Amino acid sequence: MNRKKIVHFILDDKFIIPEMNIYDSLKEYDNEYILIKNLPFQHRVYLKEKERVREMSRWSVKKKISRSDYTDIIILHSLFSLPLDLFKFIHPSVKVVWLAWGYDLYHGKYGMEPLIKIPSLYGVYTNKYVESQENQFKSSFLIKSRMRELISQMLWPATTSLMNDVLQRIDYFGGYPGEYELIQRNDYFRAENVDYSYPLIFNLYSKNNVGSFSYNIVGNILIGNSATETNNHIDIFAKIRKFVSSDKKIIVPLSYGSSNYREYVISKGHEFFAKQFEPLVDFMPLAEYQSLIQGCSVAIFGHERQQAVGNVIMALWNGAKVFLSQDSLVYKYLKSIGLVVFSIQRDLNEREINTFLSKDEIMDNRRIVSDNFSNEAVLAKVEVMLKKALS
């Protein structure tokens, strides 16, 4: 049996390592992980294992991907893991799989329109902040920022014309349920859909762990997952401030994202909740974060776009009552597979925020999470995807 080769283009991100572990467990494939590095001052933050990841320049990559004997499949872990202007050099015989990140779909790079448009990403309060920042940014555009963008555009060019060509070269698309139907509205998109989920670094959601839950929930409240405006923190603060009892902590992870927005959220958090407010500004290992969520009976994620799915699933696994925007794809999909989740618009009120899920509801949620998001479930999806790509 001839072994098939997969070349993975990756970014230096904490989500990549568990994905590498999944692919490396497939013994019938040879995997090569490539991180494109262009400048000498670029240093890895998350991918410390140098023997597992090859650093290559864009020029070296261009030569390799043009060869028919280089690989059978290219998997892009984010569309921007490979410069858009290099797609045209991929040999026609090579299948290209794009595993989409939220950044790929909902963020307009260098002024381009996003591939998926959300009518309203921000609530009233957050939108006021975003508009104020845009005006300030325009009036005080720093030379350093301008230079960084110019260098980035030279090494990683992105234009609407390039993007249209790239979309035509993608053979298979793996995104969050519902995103495929939305991106299909683009006339240049021709890829087939594949089912995909992201694994955890350890198999938390294994069927063996479903029953190992101690029903001892503390009534703290978790809000959001990062210091990014799409969390709509201030809109959530304003909605719950009048009915949050004084014995509850308001825990807000802000360890990554915008430093300006982080400071704004911290200032407003103390203003709204005083000593109840606990911002988390330092990166927290996964096991420690899981322990933190176990102390939260409520988790509120104010995203309108697909974001923080891993945090949402972990909150459900740990017995939290999860509130999401009813307009988001995440809410719609989780409801469709039977998970007990709640609408921010309809359900976020004094009674619901102060009552816990029943033990039966928690156990049902854990079973559904295990069936759909355990590493065994992810591995099964990967195997189906690869067979489809090689058929």
CA distances from 304 to 16, 330, 365 (A): 24, 9, 22
Q: Dump pLDDT digits (tens) for 375-387.
A: 999 999 999 999 9
Range of the domain at 163: 4-124+159-200+376-390
Give the whole-angstrom CA distance, residue 302 versus residue 308: 10
For residue 200, pLDDT beyond 80: no
Together in a domain, 216 and 287: yes
Give the whole-angstrom CA distance, residue 234 versus residue 269: 8
First vs last C-alpha separation in the chain: 15
Together in a domain, 230 and 193: no
Q: In this predicted structure, what is the pLDDT of residue 140?
A: 47
Sheet order of strands, 321-324 included = 277-280, 250-253, 220-223, 296-301, 321-324, 342-343
Q: In this predicted structure, what is the pLDDT of residue 241?
A: 94
Domain-located, residue 143? no
Q: In this predicted structure, what is the pLDDT of residue 112?
A: 83
Domain-located, residue 149? no
CATH classification of the domain holding 364: 3.40.50.2000
Q: Dump pLDDT digits (tens) for 86-138.
A: 999 999 999 999 999 998 999 877 678 899 999 899 999 999 999 888 766 55
Together in a domain, 194 and 330: no
Mean pLDDT, the chain, integer = 90
Domain-located, residue 10? yes
Contact indicator for 383, 26 with CB cutoff of 8 Å: yes
Together in a domain, 187 and 316: no
DSSP per-residue codes, 157-197? ---HHHHHHHHHH--EEE-STTHHHHHTTSTT--PEE----
Arithmetic mean of pLDDT, 47-63: 87
Together in a domain, 352 and 380: no
Together in a domain, 82 and 188: yes
Together in a domain, 62 and 87: yes
Together in a domain, 90 and 65: yes
pTM exceeds cut of 0.95: no
For residue 232, pLDDT beyond 90: yes
Together in a domain, 96 and 59: yes
Together in a domain, 257 and 293: yes
Q: Which residue has the higher pLDDT, 162 or 132?
A: 162
Give the whole-angstrom CA distance, residue 227 versus residue 257: 4
Arithmetic mean of pLDDT, 38-57: 76
Together in a domain, 112 and 223: no
Overall domain count for the chain = 2
Q: Dump pLDDT digits (tens) for 257-272.
A: 999 999 999 999 999 9
Pick from 162, 166, 24, 5: which is nearest to 94 by CA?
5
Arithmetic mean of pLDDT, 265-292: 91
Q: Dump pLDDT digits (tens) for 294-349.
A: 889 999 999 999 999 999 999 999 999 999 999 999 999 999 999 999 999 999 99
Domain-located, residue 51? yes
Give the whole-angstrom CA distance, residue 81 versus residue 76: 6
